[in-house]
Structure 1
Amino acid sequence: MPHLPQIKIPATYLRGGTSKGVFFRLQDLPEAARVPGAARDALLLRVIGSPDPYGKQIDGMGGATSSTSKTVIVATSSRPDHDVDYLFGQVSIDQAFVDWSGNCGNLSAAVGPFAIAGGLVDAARVPHDGIATVRIWQANIGKTIIAHVPITGGQVQETGDFELDGVTFPAAEVQLEFLDPADEGEDGGAMFPTGQLVDDLEVPGVGVLKATLINAGIPTIFVNADAIGYTGTELQDAINGDAKALAMFETIRAHGALKMGLIQQLDEIATRQHTPKIAFVAPPADYVSSSGKPVAAADIDVLARALSMGKLHHAMMGTAAVAIGTAAAIPGTLVNLAAGGGERHAVRFGHPSGTLRVGAEAQRVDGQWTVTRAVMSRSARVLMEGWVRVPGDAF
């Protein structure tokens, strides 16, 4: 039986924040994959190495974690006042689907650098030395992200002394502004879909939990750590090796998604791994991060832990950080209360790998809370560039 040879597709492997992904220019994809649909999904699954019943993604570019099973497609934007369109695909590790329901805040930091290096940004907008402002249309959720990318000698500067907990080596700082981050994308709905800052969420086998359900950055369900038997200082091993705990979090996530209107039936959550996120918060406390670095309660405002694709994240998803910053800025949410309550324009939270500061500007308009922007800094670096190869019959 004859077999088609492999084909080569131009691609770049980048780290953005605490994630890694395979980046493509839309124009470089095979014609069948330049539009949404089965061919595109099949191609990206094969690139990453999914579905893999072994859970390792050995035969692909994925790293077998939610942070490393990611793909990005970038194109020159036809929208006014935007430079590029950015589409994010979260590739399932063990199932044959790509989740397009949300953004990746970490990889957002790499979109600007990739777009500049790939000639997708008008050269007149890139200084020889200084900061290039890249206006990004986040196509998954229909929002604008402004990336401030350092430029030296006409090239993207990747090296620097900016340190990001969860990333081993320093790099150049990329500041991101998430404009109007309340997620009113494909699912519609307001920032607080139930109209409440805190809901009673009834979860079978768990009980009635106080929960803040918010659409900002990414749809997120916040609960109090002590309500589910945790302190908020946990590291990955405390949860990811506990099958009963993971099942509990998935049950909470499913019931939260239902209450938020993101799904209509509980069983739909199985094909929606990327959104919503489930997170738990607690007041500040001393702990030791996964790198062994002590984190003092006095240096943070709140403790936060979040799960991504069924596992506790090793640091914090960028979009969930936007949700944390937004919720912290609105008096009365569980995140705000855990941080001490009151009004604030920024929050520094402790996560498994260390700390992160996120700024958010919230205001109440006609009785409804709005957030005009959330700001945080990440870094990005090209790890490898060239071509990825896939069998010619993979899509």
Structure 2
Amino acid sequence: MDAPHRHASPAMPHAPQLRIPATYMRGGTSKGVFFRLQDLPAEAQVPGPARNALLMRVIGSPDPYGKHTDGMGGATSSTSKCVIISASTRPGHDVDYLYGQVSIDTAFVDWSGNCGNLSTAVGPFAIANGFIPAERIPQDGIVTVRVWQANIGKTILVHVPVSGGQVQETGDFELDGVTFPAAEIVLEFLDPSDEGEAGGAMFPTGHLVDDLDVPGVGTLKATMIAAGIPTVFVNAADIGYDGTELQPAINDDKAALAKLEAIRVAGALRMGLIQSPQEAATRQHTPKVAFVAPPKAYVASSGKQVAADAIDLNVRALSMGKLHHAMMGTASVAIATAAAVPGTLVNLAAGGGTRDAVRFGHPSGTLRVGASVEQRDGQWTVTRAVMSRSARVLMEGWVRVPHD
């Protein structure tokens, strides 16, 4: 018997793939495909189905196998990301930064929030791609790139080290969740409360702690905050955890994931981010859900020992329905902000009182984040959050996608 074979259809011409200039970058504990807006095909230079289709094909989504074998994605929320950079239309800013979180197994790109980790890479990308005037780039020193975060309408200052007139990428700064050391990049998130969307207040419900009714779970104490990214915090102990969990403990447990998604949906409704539970399916990136606990020693995913006296509290957060391997940069802003406000669940887990910085434990190790908060007309707000990350170019050239 002859071996089975397939016949090409003579009626179907095969167009060559599109070849689009792109840079593959790591920023913090994430990585993504970076584009200059001007390099995208004309139909993808504006928001809409063509742009979404292009970015999904670049990443390799939707992928029912959950592997991203036929794309640039890494089949995790940390690695299924695209960034579009353009010269800023905003006075006093260098670049506009638009971020797309690409779903892995569904045909969906979420534009509802920022990626704090990839924010780190926006500065180096802007310098390397000609968005910063040459006279602002010293031979050796720091270049501050003023970034307009277009998804949420906020300013980020990215302080990028320069050596020999070029972005310095190598160095001895170590970031838990990233295997190798690199150059330190300091991020400043200015006025990072996400008040415009979440009811006009950093605490959208008007309370530091709420009783949150979660269908199928019960009533939980919750702190719901819109800072960095809208986030729903609950106590680890109230849902059966101690805050030292690593990814397998959550991601291999379908019941746990369902419970945490139910908390996220209930929080989104209570914060006014969605009007019905069904809307949550089209808003996977925000809000985040996280659980907090007092400091307790554990062994991080790398095998590193984290001592209880080395941290203020433990935090575990979910991104796109799975426990994050480290901590999202935007959620880190939410953690630091909530920790700075006396009486929130995050603040209480860290021992209470007032503070302007917090060091928390996450599955890959620890992270220190600073936040400055104040009360204005009786409402809490955050004026600035600061953290150190690193970034580097992994590959640059052209990404190719089929013409359709």
Task: Please report the TM-score for the alignment, with normalisation by the length of structure 2.
Answer: 0.96
Correspondence 1:371 to 2:371: no
5 Å-filtered alignment, 1:19-168, equals: 19-168=30-179
Across the aligned residues of Structure 1 and Structure 2, the Cα RMSD in angstroms comes to 0.8
Note the C-alpha offset of 1:188: 5.2
- The total of aligned residue pairs comes to 393
5 Å-filtered alignment, 1:1-395, equals: 1-186=12-197, 189-393=200-404
CA distance in 2, matches of 1:78, 1:368: 31
Which ranges of structure 2 fall in alignment gaps of 5 or more residues? 1-11
CA distance in 1, matches of 2:283, 2:267: 13
Note the C-alpha offset of 1:78: 2.0
Q: Which runs of 4+ in 1 moved over 6 A?
A: none
Does the C-alpha gap of structure 1 residues 387 and 86 become closer, same or farther in structure 2, counting only changes over 3 Å?
same
Contact 2:199 2:271 in 1 (8 A): no
- Please give the secondary structure, in 2, of the residue aligned with 1:326: helix
CA distance in 2, matches of 1:187, 1:70: 24
Note the C-alpha offset of 1:190: 1.3
- Please give the secondary structure, in 2, of the residue aligned with 1:8: strand
Which ranges of structure 1 fall in alignment gaps of 5 or more residues? none
CA distance in 1, matches of 2:263, 2:356: 29
CA distance in 1, matches of 2:166, 2:38: 22
CA distance in 2, matches of 1:188, 1:390: 40
One-letter code aligned to 2:266: H
Partner of 2:8: none
Note the C-alpha offset of 1:189: 2.5
Note the C-alpha offset of 1:124: 2.0
CA shift digits 1:45-89 (9 cap, x unpaired): 000000111111111000000000000000111211100000000
Contact 1:10 1:387 in 2 (8 A): yes
Which structure has the larger Rg over C-alpha atoms? Answer: 2
Contact 1:83 1:136 in 2 (8 A): yes
Does the C-alpha gap of structure 1 residues 259 and 176 become closer, same or farther in structure 2, counting only changes over 3 Å?
same
Note the C-alpha offset of 1:186: 4.8
CA distance in 1, matches of 2:158, 2:199: 25
Identity in percent: 79
CA shift digits 1:316-361 (9 cap, x unpaired): 0000000000000011110000000011000000000000000000
Contact 1:105 1:317 in 2 (8 A): yes
Note the C-alpha offset of 1:372: 0.5
Moved more, 173-182 or 187-196: 187-196
CA shift digits 1:120-159 (9 cap, x unpaired): 1122222121000000000000000000000011100000
- Please give the secondary structure, in 2, of the residue aligned with 1:251: helix
